[in-house]
Amino acid sequence: MPKSDMIGIAKSMRDYLDQLSVGKQPFTVQAYGVALRRFEAFLEQTYRFTEETSARDLTVDHAIAFGKSLQGLSPATIKNYLAAVSQFYRYLFAHRFVEIDMADHERLFSTFRQMRPRAFNLPRVPSDEMVDALIQAARAEPEQPKRKQSPGDKERTRLQRQRNVALLLALRSSGMRLGEALTLQRGDLDYRSKSALVTGKGRKQRIVYFDPEAWNAIQEYLKARQDGKRTRALSSLPIFARHDRRAGDRVLPLTRQRVEQIFADLAERAQIDPKPTPHWFRHWFATQVLDRTQDLAALQEMLGHESPVTTRIYAKVSTKRLRQVHDAAFGKEKGTNDND
């Protein structure tokens, strides 16, 4: 193994991301990669560091200066960048690529804790009508193209429509994160309980359940794919797959970018504004559970939240109970009573 003073900053970042990929979701690794590339660019512009600059030259002050440079970005972006750099420094410390004393060690992480944005907006919850409109748009037959389609194009279009309907219904009835849905494989489905085993943040697993409409849509879509014709084991195939010319006969998982484009297209067809995101379905699911059960503990388990504090935010946007309380207090006009 090369000496620590011979390892460049760029290589240490690549090595860290390779190690991170073992225990983290691909989307987390990708997000951390974006953050570290920004940190690398900051070091180059501010301190004239290069790819060959030794990781040993990094100090706590470089990280803190980077954190201060993030002002003006969205709270979510700042949190992601600080988390990525913080974990990268932990990696450097653990491998003794950077030598610092305990005082600087504590100064870095306490400063980053203070930099993390604490205020956050309430989640945007779509109305029932918006959710229904998106699903109806997914179900609708697409407009006929101007040029004549080949039988293969028609089949791909049909599978895309079935997949989109199944995905939207699955997100609506399960509360899954989009990343969790996209990594689901056929072997994760439990046909007895109409559920699936998903792997969430931190590689933590949980069970999510589908309503009959979503389950039936998933089964119809999988049946239409006719995956049994392929030699690859069915259990390892993605539930939500690509159906484009570039994929060909391969069963490749649907990408996040493609889903975002699907939502944009459906929103335009349904004439919905502001533009919805896949995460809106998770917000809708959470408020539905709270409105009907008031069970925060169960909702925390369903959403895969590590902390109940994260789940409790949905109590602030679950309006049914608040409406009932408000009506109890102000539902009648002043000066009236039951004897009038």
- Whether 314 is catalytic is yes
Query: Among the options 11, 201, 256, 269, which is catalytic?
Result: 201
What is the torsional sign of CA 156, 159, 165, 170?
Answer: negative
- Whether 282 is catalytic is yes
Nearest CA to 253 among 263, 264, 238, 269?
A: 238
d(CA 135, CA 214): 11
What angle is formed at CA 337 by the lines to CA 334 and CA 339, rounded to 5 degrees?
155
- Whether 245 is catalytic is no
- Whether 177 is catalytic is yes
- Whether 305 is catalytic is yes
Please state the three-class secondary structure of the chain as a single string: CCCHHHCEHHHHHHHHHHHHCCCCCHHHHHHHHHHHHHHHHHHHHHHCCCCCCEHHHCCHHHHHHHHHCCCCCCHHHHHHHHHHHHHHHHHHHHCCCCCCCHHHHHHHHHHHHHHCCCCCCCCCCCCHHHHHHHHHHHHCCCCCCCCCCCHHHHHHHHHHHHHHHHHHHHHHHHCCCHHHHHCCEHHHEECCCCEEEEECHHHCEEEEECCHHHHHHHHHHHHHHCHHHCCCCHHHCECCECCCCCCCCCCCECCHHHHHHHHHHHHHHHCCCCCCCHHHHHHHHHHHHHHHHCCHHHHHHHHCCCCHHHHHHHHHCCHHHHHHHHHHHHCCCCCCCCCC
Query: Among the options 177, 186, 225, 243, which is catalytic?
Result: 177
Nearest CA to 230 among 247, 255, 254?
A: 247
Query: Among the options 14, 203, 279, 320, which is catalytic?
Result: 279
- Whether 279 is catalytic is yes
Instruction: Enumerate residues 6+ apart whose C-beta is below 8 A from 43.
Output: 9, 49, 53, 62, 66
Query: Among the options 16, 89, 221, 314, which is catalytic?
Result: 314
Query: Among the options 24, 62, 243, 282, which is catalytic?
Result: 282
Active site residues: 177, 201, 279, 282, 305, 314
